[in-house]
Amino acid sequence: MNLQWLIRRNRFKAKAKPENKTRSWPKFLTEWRRYARRAAIAVAVVGSLAAVTWLLDRPIRVISMDGSFQRVTPGQIEKAVAPFTGEGFLSADLDRIQRAVESVPWVDHAQVQRRFPNSLHVAVVEETAAARWGESGLLNTRGQLFVREASHVPAELPRLSGPEGTETLVAQRYLATQGRMLEAGMRIAALRLDERGAWELDLDSGVTVRLGRRDVDERLDRFIRTASQVIAHRLSDITYVDMRYSNGFAIGWRGQPAPASSPLKRSDDSDA
């Protein structure tokens, strides 16, 4: 009896309900809405930025300048910047504009800045001519040849010369030497390097100092310490001072042969 009751009970036991496969759809819809909302926000932000950029990126209308403008004119700077004025305020390539300005003769370097809402400010620093190179070239304080054919060459500048490609070498020696010469009461009017590599300088008094190819620094030191003291009161009578000797120097007097003050031994015969 009990067994039949159990069998009958099991027969009428409620069957398990099948799994509702559609139950995950509400979660998917929630995630989709969340992603859609985020995407809409991103699109709105990008659109807003694009609109602001479009409003701000208007063509450049004003060019302001700053500089000494002794050798460079505002018109030259304006002409260099003109090809870029059609670009937008934000999209303008400041590096390209800077390079264009620095390509103008006598411009050492430039700085270009944006100024809201539609202008550019260009600050210009001009080159400083430290010496002439050859007939009409000009060297800056770094020894760089920045003008090959200058229409106006300041007469007070020293004249440097040498083989092609030696501009920086000659300028560096001049810059390293001029300060010491000034301390000794002399000024360099010209400095030359010849094809053989021999150095020679002219003082503003008209005296030429021959230094040769070897031991140039030592010879220059010896000239400043010793020879310059000997010739100090006879500059108008002297044509040259030859330092190419190991135990002294030779003086060339105007209007007569050049006697040596003592027996000398040429230390570099190939300099002759």
- Measured between alpha carbons, how far is residue 47 from residues 37, 56, 59, 191 in Å? 15, 14, 21, 66
258 in the same domain as 141: yes
Running along the chain, 272 residues long, what does each successive block of 10 average in pLDDT? 50 52 56 65 54 62 92 94 87 94 95 91 95 93 89 88 94 92 93 97 96 95 92 91 92 72 56 48
Would residue 76 count as lying in a domain? yes
User: What domain count does the chain have?
Assistant: 2
Tokens representing 127 are 């080159």
Could you tell me which of 227, 226, 181, 174 has the C-alpha nearest to residue 204? Answer: 181
Q: Are residues 178 and 77 in the same domain?
A: no
Q: Is residue 256 part of a domain?
A: yes
Which stretches of 82-198 are assigned E, i.e. beta strand?
107-115, 119-126, 129-133, 137-140, 145-147, 159-161, 188-193
Residue 20 lies in a domain: no
CA dist., res. 210 & res. 256, Å (int)? 18
Together in a domain, 148 and 243: yes
pLDDT for 210: 97
The CA distance from 42 to 132, in Å, is 63
Position 87 scores a pLDDT of 84
Whether residue 171 contacts residue 138, with contact meaning beta carbons closer than 8 Å, is answered with no
Note whether 80 and 175 are same-domain residues.
no
- Which structural domain, as residue segments, surrounds residue 208? 129-271
Q: Which region holds residue 83: left if phi is over 0, alpha if psi is between -120 and 50, else beta? A: alpha
